[in-house]
A and B are shown apart, each in its own frame.
Chain A
Amino acid sequence: GESVGLHLPTLSVQEGDNSIINCAYSNSASDYFIWYKQESGKGPQFIIDIRSNMDKRQGQRVTVLLNKTVKHLSLQIAATQPGDSAVYFCAESYSGGGADGLTFGKGTHLIIQP
């Protein structure tokens, strides 16, 4: 399938290590944030979300941290596996204006080395 990571920053980690993917968001009014995983040839897959009234949320092997002061979001993946290789996007939205689409960050291409 087509690669979606050709022009994106790349993060390479060893299998079993932890990885941290960072994202700077643009709108200080954004109150909802999502991390997506996109594998080659597929649509984005929802991983985890966080609302602005929280600064940390954990899922299975993933943790999202939100720092509203500096408008920074991070995704931590524990004990990475080969299946974690993909492009990861953060996305933000603001609910105050009614239902809106998402604004996506640039994306990071995560490569898991065997």
Chain B
Amino acid sequence: SAVISQKPSRDICQRGTSLTIQCQVDSQVTMMFWYRQQPGQSLTLIATANQGSEATYESGFVIDKFPISRPNLTFSTLTVSNMSPEDSSIYLCSVERGYNEQFFGPGTRLTVL
């Protein structure tokens, strides 16, 4: 498995502002992923982040709204830009270990007022 931490664990933000979420892993990984979990829902993949290349976004998610950085093999950030109440969700990062096995961080609980 992997030890994954996220900061902040939760936040309450005003609409129109931006929040950057950090994801730190205890060892080097090639693949990192960002997911969103809306209240009472399942998880939806936002994007895949490889070190040294642009993130790959899923349908319905765009870089202007969710810019991602991946400066090294143990760290990534996701920014939620120009937030609205519809962005209130849990945002989770995950890492891939072994063959397709993914392990998740604890999540960042975002509330937008």
Contact = CB atoms under 8 A, between A and B. Distances in A.
Interface of A: 2-8, 32, 34, 36, 42-46, 49, 89, 91, 93, 95, 99-107
A32 B100 contact: yes
Interface residues of B, number: 30
B41 interface: yes
Interface string B53-93: 00000100000000000000000000000000000001010
B99 A102 contact: no
B97 to A, nearest CB: 10
A44 B92 contact: yes
Contacts of A34: 101-102
B40 A100 contact: no
B48 A100 contact: yes
Given A42-B106, A101-B102, 12 more contacts: A4-B37, A32-B100, A34-B101, A42-B107, A44-B92, A44-B104, A46-B101, A89-B43, A91-B102, A95-B99, A95-B100, A102-B43
B27 interface: no
B44 A102 contact: no
15 contacts: A5-B40, A42-B106, A42-B107, A43-B92, A44-B104, A49-B100, A89-B42, A91-B102, A93-B100, A95-B100, A100-B48, A101-B35, A101-B45, A101-B102, A103-B45
